[in-house]
Structure 1
Amino acid sequence: MSSPLFNQMENALADLRKQQERIREAQERAEKETTTVSSKDRSLTATVDHRQRLTGLKFSGTRYRTMAPAELANKIVELVQQAQDEANQKSLAVYSAMAPAGFGSALTDMVNGDFDLDKMFDEAVREADSMSGTADEGEGTDRGK
């Protein structure tokens, strides 16, 4: 026999698992993303991955050869930072569309690759169980008494 509260909890858990899968799919899409940015004169191109790590640097033509070392270094740094910023914006766009209000730092953690989706959902399920009274009774108590 099922109580209305039990049915609500089951439905909420099913909804939670659906959301978990949508987030996992978004993570997988984001992890496949790369961002490539070229300098205005097209002499330099930088590519970064979804975590904003530099994965490619390409020199085209001969313009870069006539630059002073400090100028070339500055252009490379600026280009890489631009690519990193664009990659960050792409990642935020993917996740912000599905993030609940007040998601806060978890969204940034997700974008930076430090987010543990399974841990978040496990904690939510434990919290829901404890609020509904379905958690193991006597958990953490001394049963020998």
Structure 2
Amino acid sequence: MDRPGGSRLERVLADFAEQHGVVSRAREQLRALSVTALSRDGAVQVTVDADGRAAGIRFVGQPFRDMTAPQLGGSVMDALTTARSEVETRTTAVLATAGFRLPPSGPRCRWTARPRTPRPRTGAVSCASPRGGDGPRSRP
């Protein structure tokens, strides 16, 4: 004969196992996340990983040869910004699907070189609105 407490514990454990599976799948999706974007002028293609770090830059065709350094730099930044924005969109979708509640357009977390208050560690997470709005940032 089942005790009422035992069946409740079984339900809690089953719920935990289900949620653990959801979180594990989300973690794997985020680990595998990679986005490639093309600059508006079509001269540069940039691939970023789930953290928004550039994993590859490719110059498409020959147009880049006729570009000035500032133009080429602008194309790289354009593709990088587009890819980072898409990573952020996909990350938000994965987390939302996993049941994480995210602020509608809340602050982004970023690594800062120095903590806001003195601490013995060298880096800290600061959840403040980004200045430039250029997507996820990495540790210094």
Alignment TM class, shorter chain as reference: 0.5 to 0.7
1:62 aligns with 2:62: yes
Q: Aligned partners of 1:28 and 1:82: how far apart in 2?
A: 23
> For 1:87-128, what per-residue CA distance to the aligned partner results, in whole angstroms no more than 9, with x for missing partners?
11111111202215xx347xx9xxx9xxxxxxxxxxxxxxxx
Q: Aligned partners of 2:85 and 2:18: how far apart in 1?
A: 31
Report the CA distance between 1:11 and its aligned residue: 1.0
In the TM superposition, 1:38-117 aligns within 5 A as 38-100=38-100, 103-104=101-102
> For 1:5-60, what per-residue CA distance to the aligned partner results, in whole angstroms no more than 9, with x for missing partners?
34213311221121111210121122112101112332210001122111010002
| TM-score (norm: length of structure 2) | 0.64
Report the CA distance between 1:2 and its aligned residue: 5.5
Q: Aligned partners of 2:52 and 2:68: how far apart in 1?
A: 27
Which ranges of structure 2 fall in alignment gaps of 5 or more residues?
111-140
Q: Aligned partners of 2:51 and 2:7: how far apart in 1?
A: 40
Report the CA distance between 1:85 and its aligned residue: 0.8
| TM-score (norm: length of structure 1) | 0.62
> 2:12 corresponds to which residue?
12
User: More strand per residue: 1 or 2?
Assistant: 2
1:21 aligns with 2:21: yes
Larger radius of gyration: 1
The amino acid of 1:35's aligned partner reads V
Q: Aligned partners of 2:60 and 2:78: how far apart in 1?
A: 17
User: More helix per residue: 1 or 2?
Assistant: 1
Q: State the superposition RMSD in angstroms.
A: 2.3
Q: Aligned partners of 2:74 and 2:31: how far apart in 1?
A: 28
4+ aligned runs moved over 4 Å, structure 1 = none
Report the CA distance between 1:65 and its aligned residue: 1.8
Q: Aligned partners of 1:88 and 1:41: how far apart in 2?
A: 23
